[in-house]
Amino acid sequence: MTDAPALVDSHCHLDFPDFDETRDEVIARARAAGVGRMVTICTRLRQEPRVRAIAEAHEGVYYAAGTHPMSATEEPMATVEQLVALADHPKFVGIGETGLDYHYTAESAARQQESLRIHIEAARRTQLPLIIHARDADDDMARILSEEHRAGAYSCVMHCFSSGPALAEAALDLGFYLSMSGIAAFPRSTELREIFAAAPLDRILVETDSPYLAPPPHRGKRNEPAFVAHTARVGAETFGLSPAEFAAATSANFDRLFTRAA
């Protein structure tokens, strides 16, 4: 047993080869650190069976699936029907990750936008939350999310949020959630922490995005779900809360958004 506050890692990638030799140990370490639930994210739909199997094999592990925007030109275009069918599984809790990434793949912007709109429609039909990746595409992201929300409401989390205040405001105005990753714990991320501090506490989640973006004191090393506790401590400081209060708040937010994992 652990006396650590109960946390949720709302976004990780347990299927990645970084964990192939130690997956059971990684999940056990997460539980020992107080992370009782994890959502492992499939980024290419052809890998969905593998991600699903991990969720089926481990209590407290759930999954979501979609086409990552950086893979939009490499993968077949998903269909709404294909995504909706995945929602039949009881451990399938969200649509994505999807989104827009113009940092390395701006040349595929049009295809990324088409894929994003397909995922939004699937989220709308299933009433499961959309999981958004956004990088260097703030204006288009805010525009598309707003246009689609006017066409029909849906729920959403801006995963690993590290964009500017305008996109944060647009997302919050739509009723969406912002998720803190290890980036928010980096010493130089003062402006990002200010964006989170200005947001309502009841719209904040916490995640690792492991194996990427390990927070201090593990920065530069492989990230894993147990390390969400380090980001959560910084989150607690950002909101002027105790670690237990922040853990309770973000876990309640997770339950409200990811209703199937509640």
Per residue in 14-26, pLDDT (tens digit) is 999 999 999 999 9
- State the DSSP code for 45: G
Contact 19, 211 (CB under 8 A): yes
- Binding site membership for a divalent metal cation: which residues? 11, 13, 97, 133, 159, 209
- Binding site membership: which residues? 11, 13, 97, 133, 159, 209
Neighbours of 193 (CB within 10 A): 19
| DSSP secondary structure, 192-232, as one string | HHHHHHTS-GGGEEE---TTS-PPTTSTTS---GGGHHHHH
Cα–chain-centroid distance for residue 73?
Answer: 22
**What six digits make up the tokens of 168?**
């944060």
Q: Where are the domains of the chain?
A: 7-261
Note the CATH architecture for domain 7-261: Alpha-Beta Barrel (3.20)
pTM beyond 0.85: yes
Share of the chain above pLDDT 90, in %: 98
- List the one residue out of 1, 5, 33, 3 whose CA is nearest residue 224: 33
Rounded to 10°, the helix 109-126/138-151 angle is: 30
Tell me: pLDDT of 1 over 80.
Answer: no
Share of the chain above pLDDT 70, in %: 98
**What six digits make up the tokens of 200?**
């309502």
Contact 26, 54 (CB under 8 A): no
Per residue in 45-87, pLDDT (tens digit) is 999 999 999 999 999 999 999 999 999 999 999 999 999 999 9
Neighbours of 197 (CB within 10 A): 14
- One-letter identity of residue 194: E
For strand 92-101 and strand 204-206, is the pairing parallel, antiparallel, or unpaired? unpaired
For strand 61-65 and strand 92-101, is the pairing parallel, antiparallel, or unpaired? parallel
